[in-house]
Amino acid sequence: MKPIPFFSLALFFLCGSAHAELRTPSIIGENMVLQQKHKNPIWGWAEAGEAITVSIAGQTHKTK
């Protein structure tokens, strides 16, 4: 494969995956501690219509 078409194809896939960005507030992150038996709201910002999945303690919740 010629270098130019290969580079163009690789750039196309890299740009497509970098387009979606989910942002959460600084208090929400990996290994955070949540109170038991209490509703813990999770929020953040993403592109309209983007599928979001949150997994906590073996439970998975999805939204758009």
pLDDT digits (tens, 9 = 90+) for 7-47: 555 555 555 544 567 788 888 888 888 888 888 888 888 88
Following CA atoms 21, 41, 59, 19 in sequence, which dihedral angle do they give, to the nearest 10 degrees? Answer: -10
**Predicted pLDDT of residue 57:** 79
How far is the C-alpha of 19 from the C-alpha of 36, rounded, in Å? 35
Which one, of 23, 20, 64, lies nearest residue 44 by Cα? 23
Helices (H), ranges, the chain: 3-18
SS3 (DSSP) at 49: coil
SS3 (DSSP) at 56: strand
The pTM is what?
Answer: 0.50
